[in-house]
Amino acid sequence: MELAWIAAGVALLVLAYLVRSLRALHRKINRNADRVSRELSGQTSRIKEEIGHAYHQVEALEQLLPILKLKAPLPASRGWAASPDFLLALSHITQKVRPKLAVELGSGTSTLVLAKSGAKKIISLDHSVDFGNQTKEMLASHGVRGVDIRIHELETYPQGYKWYAKSTFKGLAKIDLLVIDGPPSSTNPDARYPALAHLIPLLSPKATIVLDDVFRDEERKLADDILAALPGHTMKILAHEKGTAVIAPRLGK
């Protein structure tokens, strides 16, 4: 009889242990299920966001292509290259401003857009021999001539930063349209900020400035400081894939 009680007691202890273990396992499964659910929800949101971005870029490209009247393929856009929404806005701005002199920092498809949208004279500064020559070949394939692409490695300035060489600034005066999309941020911190000191003084009174990538802190600071240096201008931030700042004269100026 005593053995039976002992056996029953052991069985109850084992049962209690199993119940506690099952409850703990259930709680762990629920926690993992919640974590997996949250991760799936986050992934779904990111996928939806990327699909939205891609659709917006397709819309912009469809509007841009008739303006360009292509004679040859275009290089890839997005990523490190300009996105279609930026290029479409640049085309509209160029058609509106009709610049006698457009200067851009960083050549590429934007150079073709400037040429096809009515800029009379274009000077493009590029620090990369490969990219600069690719742009020259692209322009030639589209029958665009007369664009001045100045290729020179970045120069080290006394202040310690690297930027476009002073020798490439020849003839830069009364700039009507300035496009800032280079040099890449990988070259040095605040890679594009020297434009404030070197090129803003060379603008015409009614110049328009277009900056890509202003969703990044460094480019947004540059845009804000350019605006502060031009009290007769206003700034509009376009909600493009990478963010575009358009700094233009106030209406009536």
Find the domain containing 143 and state its range: 76-249
Mean pLDDT, residues 177-190:
88
pLDDT at residue 8 above 60? Answer: no
Together in a domain, 98 and 201: yes
Together in a domain, 161 and 61: no
The first and second tokens of residue 166, run together, are: 């002073």
Provide the strand spans (E) within the chain.
102-105, 122-126, 148-151, 155-156, 162-163, 175-180, 203-212, 233-238, 244-249
User: Is pTM, for the whole model, over 0.85?
Assistant: no
Rounded distance, CA 150 to CA 181, Å? 15
Instruction: Name the residue among 207, 250, 245 with its Cα closest to residue 232.
Output: 250
Mean pLDDT, residues 227-239:
96
Q: Are 44 and 52 in contact (CB under 8 A)?
A: no
| C-alpha triplet 226, 227, 228: angle, nearest 5° | 90
Together in a domain, 101 and 2: no
Together in a domain, 62 and 138: no
Together in a domain, 48 and 170: no
Rounded distance, CA 179 to CA 210, Å? 5
| Cα dihedral across residues 160, 162, 165, 166: positive or negative | negative
Rounded distance, CA 113 to CA 66, Å? 12
Last residue of a domain, one of 68, 92, 118: 68
Q: Structurally, how many domains does the chain consist of?
A: 2
**Cα 34 to the center of its chain, rounded Å:** 35
Least confident among 48-57, 134-143, 207-216, 217-226? 48-57
pLDDT at residue 34 above 70? Answer: no
pLDDT at residue 133 above 80? Answer: yes
Average pLDDT, the chain: 85
**Cα 249 to the center of its chain, rounded Å:** 24
Together in a domain, 163 and 197: yes
Together in a domain, 87 and 51: no
pLDDT at residue 226 above 60? Answer: yes
Together in a domain, 113 and 64: no
Q: Are 108 and 100 in contact (CB under 8 A)?
A: no
Tokens 């240096």 label which residue? Answer: 229
Q: Are 212 and 238 in contact (CB under 8 A)?
A: no
Together in a domain, 131 and 167: yes
Rounded distance, CA 147 to CA 136, Å? 8
Which CATH number belongs to the domain containing residue 179 in this structure?
Answer: 3.40.50.150
Last residue of a domain, one of 35, 68, 101: 68
Strands 148-151 and 155-156, bridge-based pairing: unpaired
Q: Calculate what percentage of the chain has a pLDDT beyond 90.
A: 58
